[in-house]
Amino acid sequence: MLWQSMTTYLKSWFNYPGLEGKMIPVSIGLALVFGAVWLLTIWPPLTKKPWLWVVGIVGAFLTVLAGAFVQTPLHYYYVKLMTHFWDSNTLNNQLLLVNIPVALIIALVQEGAKMVPIVFWWMMSGRKITPKTGLIIGAMAGAGFGIFGAVFAHNQAFIAHWTWSEFHRNAWQALLPFWDTFWSVAAQAGISALVGYGLAKGKGWQSYLGATVLHAAMLYFRVLYAKYPNTFNENRVEITLAGVTALVMLVVIYLRWRKDDAELAPMVTEPPAAPPAIDTPAQ
């Protein structure tokens, strides 16, 4: 049963029964545009440092694999533990309490997986990278998974027969899936960017825990919506999450572009085998 749950989770990212083939490029194209919009705000030097593309791809696939083989088992055994002590009525009544560990599990696993390429680069650079380098690497790792998740969400919307006629009928409500993915890409990139920045500052585990709490809190808004749909309706939840994400990105943009003479100094006299820091954008 557990193995089936893990493989089902993994396959769901690549298998879309009922999706028209012509909609797949639309899903991918929209996701890439959303990612490009947010990455342009920090301007990673992708032409001069092509290995940044690898960071994004690795961040995406590691997070999906961690979801299948770490997050799914943790969630599986947590549910078994809860159902052993409480019946379904009690679980429903304690929805807010029960879902706190669920949100933390998802956040811990996702932020940890996205942190792997950041830590790898940090170690390859002799544990000496500038904070802006860490921020850019983190943003790329997060954006990679954010874009991949956006493709998944877009495909799900198209499987549910989203059409332009739906937009003409419902306008704002019809655009919610795309509004959500636009900000979701930003959240994944922004939170990981702050983790990378913190790691370079020597506060790796503190940044990781802070990112986990922030990520889990954002996930928890969905639980509040499920429990109190009249108070925390879908529109309010989406606007609140967009506002929080916008604040995160404003902090990231400020840290990326502020002048800091200390960060412009070379870290070592003789650079290691790894590529140098990437504080300045491509010309």
pLDDT at residue 17 greater than cutoff 50:
yes
Q: Which has the minimum average pLDDT: 3-12, 19-28, 163-172?
A: 163-172
* Residue 281 confidence class, pLDDT cut points 50, 70, 90: very low
Mean pLDDT of the chain: 89
Tell me the mean pLDDT in the region 256-267: 64
Q: Which of 110, 41, 105, 104 is nearest to 248 (CA)?
A: 41
Q: What is the per-residue pLDDT for 235?
A: 84
Q: How far is CA 217 from CA 58, 100, 220, 262, in A?
A: 26, 9, 5, 34
Tell me the mean pLDDT in the region 265-274: 44
pTM of the model: 0.88
Q: What is the per-residue pLDDT for 161?
A: 78
Residue range 157-207, pLDDT digits in tens? 999 877 766 666 766 777 888 999 999 999 999 999 999 999 999 999 999
SS3 call for 18 = coil
pLDDT at residue 270 greater than cutoff 80:
no
Q: Where are the domains of the chain?
A: 22-43+50-258
* Residue 31 confidence class, pLDDT cut points 50, 70, 90: very high
Residue range 32-86, pLDDT digits in tens? 999 999 999 999 999 999 999 999 999 999 999 999 999 999 999 999 999 999 9
- Look at the alpha carbons of 269, 273, 274, 280 in this order and tell me if their dihedral is positive or negative: positive
Per DSSP, the residues of 180-192 read HHHHHHHHHHHHH
